[in-house]
Amino acid sequence: MTVNNSKIKQSVLTINGVTFEHVDIFNVVNDFYYRIQQDPILQVPFYSVHDWPEHVERITHFWWIRFGGKPYLFSDYNPVAKHFFAGFNGELLARWLSIFKDTLNTHLKPEQAELWKNISERMGESLTIKNEMFRREYEKSQPK
């Protein structure tokens, strides 16, 4: 699979003094979701994904804009509800992060990998808190 370069107006960004090419992000995301599809536990919540190339493109864009890159896709992310209904929990998160970090180590320079590990850990903490808040609201809205 390749990146559709025609949509990307900028191919390099720098965050906290660390430079990423768009293709660095794509390579990580592409290989990460390949590994997810081979993982006996994490493949299960991801059965909801039917179009893997489209998912990889969306998530590459997600990280690109999260790192401060210019948006080049129209995408409206709603991760909290999606994760809640996918059964997000602490154990799955730990497994997700472990596979993610291995993937970062495979593809990136050490300073790139370290920065992205820190950002993903913070996002994991934030998703955990938001997931609990979502659960409370969801349970309140369910008929007794």
CA–CA separation, 74 vs 97, rounded Å?
27
In this complex, which beta carbon is closest to ligand HEM, that of residue 59 or of residue 108? 59
Task: Report helix, strand or coil for 20.
Answer: strand
**Which residue among 5, 48, 105, 106 contacts ligand HEM (CB under 6 A)?**
48
Question: Candidates 4-12, 13-21, 84-92, 133-141 — which segment interacts with ligand HEM by CB under 6 A?
Answer: 84-92
Question: Candidates 13-21, 42-50, 103-111, 136-144 — which segment interacts with ligand HEM by CB under 6 A?
Answer: 42-50
78 binds ligand HEM (CB under 6 A): yes
In this complex, which beta carbon is closest to ligand HEM, that of residue 23 or of residue 49? 49
CA–CA separation, 41 vs 105, rounded Å?
22
Contacts made by residues 56-61, CB under 8 angstroms, sequence distance 24+: 56/1, 56/26, 56/29, 56/30, 57/3, 57/4, 59/29, 59/33, 60/3, 60/22, 60/25, 60/26, 60/29, 60/30
**Which residue among 3, 35, 52, 62 contacts ligand HEM (CB under 6 A)?**
62
Phi, psi of 127 (to 5 degrees): -65, -35
**Which residue among 83, 104, 108, 116 contacts ligand HEM (CB under 6 A)?**
83
- Residues of this chain that bind ligand HEM (CB under 6 A): 45-46, 48-49, 59, 62, 77-79, 82-83, 86-88, 92-93, 96, 120, 123-124, 127
